[in-house]
């Protein structure tokens, strides 16, 4: 599969003006329904702020068949009308970036803990535990150091 033929996933974050959240969510649901009928659009999801967080940041994950379909969608009259419709509801321009693999689950919250380091740590931890579990069955005899750690009473 060539790079241009691979599915594309885009994460968009947008800050919504206070008091306009319900109006934005309703407009977005309507836009989703209309946009999913577009050629090359594979899916869309809305991410809302956690209740009580005080955050006004909403997320949209959108998937496309390929780069050409993504570009056609963002140039379409449907999308351009959507941008005009939500401009008064939003605080500034949205932030959009393309997602690759698991990076969607690892946001860079601070310069000291980059997303790539967290992803590498997660991958290394999974590999360690997968290899350990393969060598020590759940119902077999565990080595004594592991037994003392795993079965230590508190």
Can you give the pLDDT at residue 101?
Answer: 67
Q: Tell me the C-alpha distance between 59 and 10, whole Å.
A: 10
pLDDT for residue 98 is more than 70:
yes
Q: Strand pairing partners for 9?
A: 63, 99
More confident residue, 105 or 16: 16
Q: Tell me the C-alpha distance between 42 and 63, whole Å.
A: 5
Work out the average pLDDT over 25-44: 87
The reply to whether the predicted model has a pTM over 0.85 is: no
Taking only the tens place, the pLDDT of each residue in 45-78 is 888 888 888 889 999 888 888 899 999 999 999 9
The CA radius of gyration of the chain, in Å to the nearest whole number, is 22
- Identify the helix (H) or strand (E) that includes residue 81: helix 77-86
């Amino acid at each position: 599969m060539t790079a241009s033929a691979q599915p594309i996933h885009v994460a968009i974050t947008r800050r919504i003006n206070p008091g306009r959240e319900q109006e934005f969510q309703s407009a977005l649901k309507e836009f989703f329904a209309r946009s999913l009928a577009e050629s090359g659009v594979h899916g869309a999801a809305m991410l809302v702020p956690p209740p009580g967080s005080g955050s006004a940041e909403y997320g949209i994950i959108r998937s496309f068949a390929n780069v050409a379909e993504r570009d056609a969608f963002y140039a379409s009259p449907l999308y351009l009308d959507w941008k005009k419709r939500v401009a008064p509801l939003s605080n500034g321009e949205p932030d959009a970036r393309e997602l690759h693999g698991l990076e969607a689950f690892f946001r860079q919250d601070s310069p000291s803990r980059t997303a790539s380091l967290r992803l590498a740590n997660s991958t290394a931890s999974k590999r360690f535990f997968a290899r350990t579990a393969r060598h020590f069955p759940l119902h077999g005899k565990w080595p004594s150091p592991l037994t003392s750690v795993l079965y230590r009473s508190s």
